Structure formats: C-alpha cells, structure tokens
Amino acid sequence: MKPVLVAYATNYGSTREVAEAVSVALAEHGVYAIVRATCDVDALDEASAVVLGGALYFFRLHKDARRFLSRHREALKDMSVAVFAMGPVKDTKEEFAGACKQLDRALSRKPWLSPVSVKVFGGCFDPTGLRFPHNNPWMRRMPSSDIRNWGAIGSWAASLPQALGLQASPI
C-alpha cells in the first residue's frame, strides 16, 4: 500500500511538529505515512491519501498550503484528503470559532476539494523567534503561548484511517 502523505506549511515549525505527531499516530494505527513540507512535494502519485496541515496567519491559510492545493489540484480531486490548521494562540471559544471560519473560507475557495475531515488546533506563538515583517514591537510584546492539545491531535489522527478510507496494515 502507498503511504499517506502528511504535508505541512509552516514558518516557525509548530505545524511541522503537529504533522510529525499525526504521522506517528497513523503508524500506531497501522498506516504508513511520510511527512514533507508542502514546498518539497513534487508529485502525489506515490501517495494513497493526503493530510494537509497549515498555519493560519493574518486570517489566511499559510501561502505554501494554498500553493500546494493549487499546484496539485488535479491529483487532489481524485484523492482522499484531510486538512488541519494551526489557529488561535488564545484558548477561547471566540478565537477557535474565528479560526474555523478562516479555514472554512480558505477551503471554500477550492470548490473542487472535498476534505473527508477538517480540524483546527490551537497554535503556538513565540515572539522571540519572529522574523521580519512580523517582528514589529507590538507583536514582540505579545506573551508566548502554546495551546496545542496533543491528546486532541492524536485522537483526530487516529480517526483518519477510517475517514480516508484506508486499510490499516498489520504492524
């Protein structure tokens, strides 16, 4: 069986860490997965399904995730796809609702895409690692935050073999 591609788009590494956790959880459920940055994926013919992860920045899905969707549009039309986004850095219902709305808006711009599962997770923010143009004084004064819920990430990933229509391999 071909592996599941877990592709991610990130600026600072938080989304990559979640993509790696998704891959580990898939392996624990008998599904082989490979993790790649979206910009490093040339073709999808070696993948049985795709899990795409991207951070939400300034009300938009990460530009590399958007480019990935556009670049692989034809292949993705015929594949099972799940999508996750790293969203809010404050753990409030309003922040999560806003992030879900942002992701829904981004995916609605791709009417040809029909993800089998879509999820928003809390994000991670460390102002000390900011690079231009995000290193303005206002953002540097924001407190660090990491509200990634690893249990929720693992539970969602455990649901993916069935959602993606995959047969788990014996371990």
Domain limits, the chain: 4-163
Rounded to whole angstroms, the Cα distance separating 141 from 153 reads: 29
Nearest alpha-carbon partner for 64 in 120, 139, 4, 12: 12
Question: Going by DSSP bridges, is the β-strand pair 124-125/80-86 parallel, antiparallel, or unpaired?
Answer: unpaired
Q: What is the CATH number of domain 4-163?
A: 3.40.50.360
**Tens digit of pLDDT for each residue in 72-94?**
999 999 999 999 999 887 888 99
Rounded to whole angstroms, the Cα distance separating 71 from 69 reads: 6
DSSP assigned state of 3: P
CA dihedral for 110, 66, 105, 19, sign (positive or negative): positive
pLDDT at 146 (0 to 100) = 78
Q: Are 99 and 56 in contact (CB under 8 A)?
A: yes
pLDDT at 78 (0 to 100) = 93
Q: Ranked by mean pLDDT, which of 3-7, 130-134, 140-144 comes out on top? A: 3-7
**At 144, which amino acid appears?**
S
pLDDT at 35 over 80: yes
DSSP assigned state of 2: P
**Which pLDDT band holds residue 141 (cuts at 50, 70, 90)?**
low
Q: Residue 21 is encoded by which pair of tokens? A: 């956790």
